[in-house]
Amino acid sequence: MNIDYMRFSIGIFIFFSSLYCADNFAIIGPCRTMDNSEYEMRIKASKIIFSIYLHLNKIGEFPLLDEKTRTQQNFNIPDTWEVTTASHKNSVIRFIMPKREEHLSESIRGIKSFTDRLVCDCTAAAEITKHAVMSSLFSDIRVNHIRSVIIRELGGESLKSEVIKYIYDDFSSVGYIYQVQICDFLYIFGHPDYDKYSIGYGRGENVFCIGFKGVDILCVGFGPLFKDGPKTIEQIQESLAQNYAEVSPEKNVEEALAIIKQQPLLRRAFAFERIQRALTNPNRK
C-alpha cells in the first residue's frame, strides 16, 4: 500500500508548555510518494530526533566564549563519549564520538541519564542525535557488523565517524525545497563573513527536518533558538542574521539576512534504502 500525501504528517498541533512532546506535534506539507515501510521508519526516526533534542535543549548549553583569546569553554559530556577536533578556517571544530561504539546503546543511555549540565555545540548535538537514530534502528550487534564491513571495504583505514555516516548520504546542495524529507540532516549557512568577527555559534546551524507546516520545512537543532520548539528555515536564517549583526561593524540585520538567503542549503539525505537493505539482509551492509 502506498501513502501518497502531498506531504505526510507526524501530528496535528505543536503544543508548547514547560514540556512538549512529539506526539502532539503538527507538521504537514508537500512530499513524494512513499510506502508503509519508509513512512514507518521515518516516523520512528523523527520521534527519536525530536526526543533527543528535547532532552539536549533541556539540560544543555553552548560553551562560554572568550573572544579576546579566541577560546571556548571545554565540553562537559558523559564519560562514555570523547571529543575529537578538526580545523575550519580560523576555528577549531569539536566533534564527539562514543568511546565504545560496540556498545552504542550504552552511550545513548549515558546521554539520556546525564544529570549534570551538558556543555556542547550544535555540531556535537547533531552527532549525538545521529548516533541515537542509529541505535534506535539497529542492535549493537548489527552496528558492529556494519562497522566491520565498512572497515574491510576501506582497507582498515576507517574513522569512527564512517559508521554514523552510514545512515546518511553525503552532503549535496538542495536545488528545490521539495527534495527535503523528514529526518534529513541540513546545514543552514550564516553570513559568510561571520568568522571574521567572532568565534561564536553564528556561522551556521546543524538541524534535522522533522516535518512541514504548509510549504515550510520545520527543523530542530541545539541552542536557545530551539528551546521552545521547532523553527522554519526562514526563522533560523533570521536568527543567524541577528547573530551576524551583533558582531559585525555594519549592524544591519536586513542586509545580513539578504546575503544569508543567497547561501546554499546543504542536505544529507536519510539513507532509507541502504538502511532497509541492512535490516532485511543481515549479510549485507
Closest CA to 50 of 220, 269, 232: 220
CA atoms within 13 A on the CB side of 226: 34
Greater model confidence, 32 or 200? 200
Please indicate, yes or no, if residue 175 is contained in any of the structural domains: yes
Please indicate, yes or no, if residue 285 is contained in any of the structural domains: no
pLDDT, one tens digit per residue, over 79-117 is: 999 998 777 666 677 888 898 767 899 999 999 999 899
How much is the pTM?
0.85
Set of cell numbers at residue 252: 544591519
Please indicate, yes or no, if residue 168 is contained in any of the structural domains: yes
Residue 248 confidence (pLDDT): 94
Q: 197-200, long-range: CB within 8 Å, 24+ apart, which pairs?
A: 197/244, 197/247, 197/248, 197/249, 198/65, 198/67, 198/247, 199/65, 199/67, 199/70, 199/71, 199/72, 199/90, 199/91, 200/65, 200/67, 200/243, 200/247
Its domain, for residue 233, covers: 2-280
Work out the average pLDDT over 174-182: 85
When divided into structural domains, the chain yields a total of 1
Residue 3 confidence (pLDDT): 39
> What is the rounded average pLDDT for all residues in the chain?
83
Residue 2 confidence (pLDDT): 40
